A and B are shown apart, each in its own frame.
Chain A
């Protein structure tokens, strides 16, 4: 069921890139950027884009007083403009061995989505940080900014090889400790961790990050086509599960999967995060252009 690692050119094609140019990363939170960026922040700032008025108070910059209002109303109002600042976009890719499974392959799918999101971030002068997690943070791209970093970003993603066990909690902890800036955090994973997803998401949800979790599963996981007496081997840790495939077992598996996804969704909802489920059969551009927009990650 494993397939070869994707080639870099297969990650994202130019046509798709051009469509992505029109998108930007949205954050539902007020996130303070370090540098001015191209993103219209919800903070009031010094951009050219009008946002609101407020009463003048002593000490305010006189340049922003709306003199026309003053002429008509004889009151001093201050014009407020949207602040344009940069946004930190953190993309966590699951590169544990379990992602190297399924047809279409989960790993490739995760990489494609990550590349698309990173591309949008870079195009909009956001600070994009990519991190690959398996039994920890196995690779981190460092902060990338600007369209010029797109090639570097794609190259970095392309080199990722799925391997090793999944220690989601450890990975999240490491990531949270090393990236203290606020920002949008997108986690791309199957969230199959024997230690549970809660311990990991605890570090990411409800704090600095505007959290988006995209659970990516392949059709073989969603609707397993198995039969007979099988010894199921976990490709991460070689753990064995002896099963005799019966209709009730399949039914129970699907119910468990559904419950697992729901529990993840609920966990995120309670902590202000956003959950998005995707099968690898859904074309990743559809996911990016439609689903992620609908969920408010992109705009």
Chain B
């Protein structure tokens, strides 16, 4: 408890300046005395002098009414200045309020079980705003895995409270670094002088402390971590889920789910499987030990026969695309609903149809495609190809193996090995009317290891001679590079996608065992990528906040010429997404867990699953220490931050004073 502070001192001062002098003036005006003739004033004057001499405070006593009135006025002015007694440490002169709105803040153990953690965070933040002095200012930042300034610095407490109230729950993960950077940028950093200015701000973090980037944090401020949430809350969460088609039996889908218990006690839970809304008879059961237990406790439990089983596996037969949902059914005491279920979209069993246009000189290609196990691989000679002229949609991918095509369908996916078709923006460099080719052996300098096409592909031992010098367009994506120039380029033009390889396989080490498994893996990835679009695995499930990128091709296939699509979120609310005139486009951030649906259906993006699947967010045990060990931790639980004293001043002091004044007045009148 601190000394009383005043929220409105200047109002009171202004009111005092306006009222006290008139009161005194009025008092003196009131003191215009009635004239009364007497025979002599000699004795009266002596009496007055005697009284004044004998009673030093006689003057005060004589002005008792004025003093009482002044006291009453001062009390009312004090009340007007809104004195408060703060129980908690109040806000500083410059305070940044950081409110965690991530998925874990939806746990229903805030406000002593009467609300969510976000509700409690808001309540406590608003209590802090109440302690703001008039000269102090604060700003509000909401963060999950992004950070947003909800209210820039202001001294207006109403705006601050409105801003706090406007923060909405998301199901995204927590990352504090961005929020800290935002706070620091707005408080300390003077961009003109490239140095910190002003005092260190107070930073209040209202969070459960479960952030992903705790080890990366740093901030130049006095951080107070307001721990939100209860240590005793229970939560069983699905932390991993995958559904894959058996490569050999495409209609068979294997679903794996892993669950974790973040409560204080061991528990079991049934896991239910739903396919496209239909509950399946499969029921899995997990037996979970608390994650907070250490190894010793786990061993003791296992010794007692409590064997943990945290994974379930289901096998389904799905001949179409479907949304597979897994839900844990033990909801007793479970405070967080967002991780109780997870779903994935399982793509339809896809049989790629590939056309290989080859002269037959390269046996490696044929072998490679045979080994991929594709249902339909057609081989054509160049002359057959030019004669048959396959239409758009006849084949998913057409591979030109060292054959320069004269005809190309308007749209489609092409792999150009050792050649570049004419009339494209990408072309081979020409020198003296001839294609520029490097006869020397050229090794791979670098490749995009994170690109789907090169996933798990090691290009280290790939080298080739007779490499074409490619002149690429600026928007082209160079996937593999060499000292001589680009080796593998992803080129998009109109409705065509070309994967251009600058050398012939016969001239390279790529298909040889020397390069290991790089050759078949590359073709597997390339076929999947070209046929299905980007991120063939990840699109099964997205993390909250993801902004899936939809390739133009898929859009053109689904709704040619569409200017906008509708995106329906898990609650059924539809929003219209405008589509740019050209290029791929991204969906807005998918903030909530569940299934988003596109209308019209965008092929593999018809159903987009968003899942929490994050052990950090599902962990409802609030962190004891501030994230990253920066700052001090304050007690949790809703507290009344302050007591306003004005009512007490008015009721307990001013009222009796008024009564005393009345008594004194009447006593004097009747004396």
Contacts and interface: CB of A to CB of B under 8 A. Distances in A.
A binds B: yes
Interface of A: 1-2, 98-99, 101-102, 106, 190, 192-194, 218, 220-221, 224, 226-236, 239-249, 252-253, 255-257, 260
Nearest to B62: A244
Interface in B8-62: 31, 33-48, 50-51, 55, 61-62
Contact of B41 (A229, A232, A246, A257): A232
A233 B37 contact: yes
A106 B34 CA distance: 24
A99 B36 contact: no
A1 B37 contact: yes
Contacts of B51: 248-249, 252
A254 to B, nearest CB: 9
B39 A233 contact: no
A229 B39 contact: no
B671 interface: yes
Given A234-B40, A242-B33, 16 more contacts: A99-B39, A101-B39, A106-B39, A192-B42, A194-B42, A228-B669, A229-B31, A230-B33, A231-B36, A233-B38, A234-B41, A236-B39, A236-B40, A240-B41, A243-B44, A253-B44
Contact of A227 (B39, B40, B47, B669): B669
A221 B41 contact: no
Interface string B253-288: 000000000000000000000000000000000000
A234 B47 contact: no
Given A233-B38, A241-B41, A256 B671 contact: no
Nearest to A196: B42
A30 to B, nearest CB: 38
A249 B33 contact: no
Contacts of A246: 61-62, 668, 671
A84 to B, nearest CB: 43
A293 to B, nearest CB: 28
Contacts of B48: 241, 243, 249
Which 5 residue pairs of A and B lie closest in terms of their CB atoms, listed nearest first? A192-B40, A231-B33, A101-B39, A252-B47, A241-B41
A162 to B, nearest CB: 10
Interface of B: 31, 33-48, 50-51, 55, 61-62, 668-671
A98 to B, nearest CB: 4
A230 B36 contact: yes
Contact of B39 (A221, A242, A247): A221
Contacts of B50: 252, 256
Contacts of B37: 1-2, 101, 232-235
Contacts of B38: 101, 220-221, 224, 232-235
Contact of A256 (B46, B55, B670): B46
Given A233-B38, A244-B62, A257 B44 contact: no
A249 B47 contact: yes
Contacts of A235: 37-39
18 contacts: A98-B40, A218-B39, A220-B38, A221-B39, A224-B38, A227-B669, A228-B34, A229-B34, A230-B36, A233-B37, A234-B40, A236-B40, A239-B41, A243-B48, A249-B51, A253-B43, A253-B47, A257-B43
A227 B36 contact: no
A98 B38 CA distance: 8
A235 B44 CA distance: 14
A227 B671 contact: yes
Contacts of A248: 51, 55
B47 A256 contact: yes
A102 B39 contact: yes
B151 to A, nearest CB: 58
B671 A247 contact: yes
Contacts of B33: 228-231, 242
Contact of B35 (A101, A106, A230): A230
A190 B44 CA distance: 15
A237 to B, nearest CB: 9
A33 B35 CA distance: 51
A226 B36 contact: yes
B34 A230 contact: yes
Contact of A190 (B39, B46, B55): B39
Contacts of B44: 232, 241, 243, 253
A18 B48 CA distance: 48
A231 B44 CA distance: 11
A229 B43 CA distance: 17
A249 B48 CA distance: 7
A233 B35 contact: yes
Nearest to B40: A192
A110 to B, nearest CB: 12
A249 B242 CA distance: 100
A99 B669 CA distance: 30
Contacts of A226: 36
Contacts of B668: 228, 244, 246
A233 B45 CA distance: 11
Contacts of A247: 671
A2 B41 CA distance: 16
Contacts of B31: 229
A252 B55 CA distance: 12
Interface centre among A102, A232, A256, A260 (most CB of B within 10 A): A232
A233 B36 CA distance: 6
B651 to A, nearest CB: 31
Most chain B CB neighbours (cut-off 10 Å) among A2, A239, A244 = A244
A241 B39 contact: no
Nearest to B44: A241
B476 to A, nearest CB: 101
Nearest to B48: A243
A193 B670 CA distance: 32
Nearest to B31: A229
B43 A260 contact: yes
Contacts of A256: 43, 46-47, 50
A231 B32 CA distance: 9
Nearest to B46: A256
Contacts of A260: 43
A118 B180 CA distance: 113
B408 to A, nearest CB: 113
B50 to A, nearest CB: 5
Contacts of B40: 98, 190, 192, 194, 234, 236
A257 B61 CA distance: 24
Nearest to B58: A248
Contacts of B34: 228-231
A193 B43 CA distance: 10
Nearest to A194: B42
B369 to A, nearest CB: 117
Contacts of A101: 37-39
Contacts of A98: 39-40
Contacts of B36: 226, 230-233
B62 to A, nearest CB: 5
Residue from B31, B36, B669 with most neighbouring chain A CB atoms (10 Å): B36
Nearest to B36: A230
A115 to B, nearest CB: 22
A255 B48 CA distance: 12
Contacts of B41: 232-234, 239-241
A224 B41 CA distance: 12
A220 B38 CA distance: 9
A231 B35 contact: yes
Most B-side CB within 10 Å, residue of A193, A236, A252: A252
A249 B43 CA distance: 11
Nearest to A218: B39
Contacts of A234: 37-41
A99 B38 CA distance: 10
Contacts of B43: 192, 253, 256-257, 260
A224 B44 CA distance: 11
Contacts of A99: 39
A243 B31 CA distance: 10
Nearest to B668: A246
B10 to A, nearest CB: 37
Contacts of A249: 47-48, 51
